[in-house]
Structure 1
């Protein structure tokens, strides 16, 4: 599991890179998380709706499997734009939360839908709101700097 301290180290690296390479300073980037900096205990084999740092390693493997399945279909037009079947997505999600392997037989658009749902259901965004302004400034910089 990724611990809160490891998450803060990754955030610090991102903030330092923005400051050192681009001169962008970030305010309040290290505010306490919704969970007070403590990892929330994972509930059984649940995959969806829990913080990344609470996701057990064996559940992270589902994400790796999903990415590998999608890599084989990366040239499929509209892969992430088209919605998979809601009935199939609910069934796949239930199977993943129950610890079952089910991605090898799933359709690519359903897997893409699961990946999108996984990120939507995270209790905290991967990129914290405190970094939004700094990241927007970095995006507006001319290319070739670094």
Structure 2
């Protein structure tokens, strides 16, 4: 998994509208990337909505925000429209971005093991350096966790 001090990996993905988004689009900007397991599930919805509710505060602090999951574009679009998110959601179906950040890991749930996205938030400064990794994301307080350190 990416750690504090690491540089923002180069990536290219598609957002909910089918538009290409590249890491270079954020050159010279502060960036928050949050990885979530699946669109329109209770925990992911709580996290994404909390970030949306606090989006103006994050913007005021100078941050760009990107949500990333392995959902297809159609699912991301539906999720985006249903809740009116003010930020893009990346549809990383081939898991290239997810794997570059190291959040595709073995998970355990109800006695079963499987590979999946570990809910994680990464914060980068204007130079593309990772300044914080939040591994224990509280879905209903995701923005508060981010804003505590900015």
TM interval, shorter chain, is under 0.3
Larger radius of gyration: 1
TM-score by length of 2: 0.26
Q: Quick check: which one's helix share is greater?
A: 1
Indicate the structure with greater strand content: 2
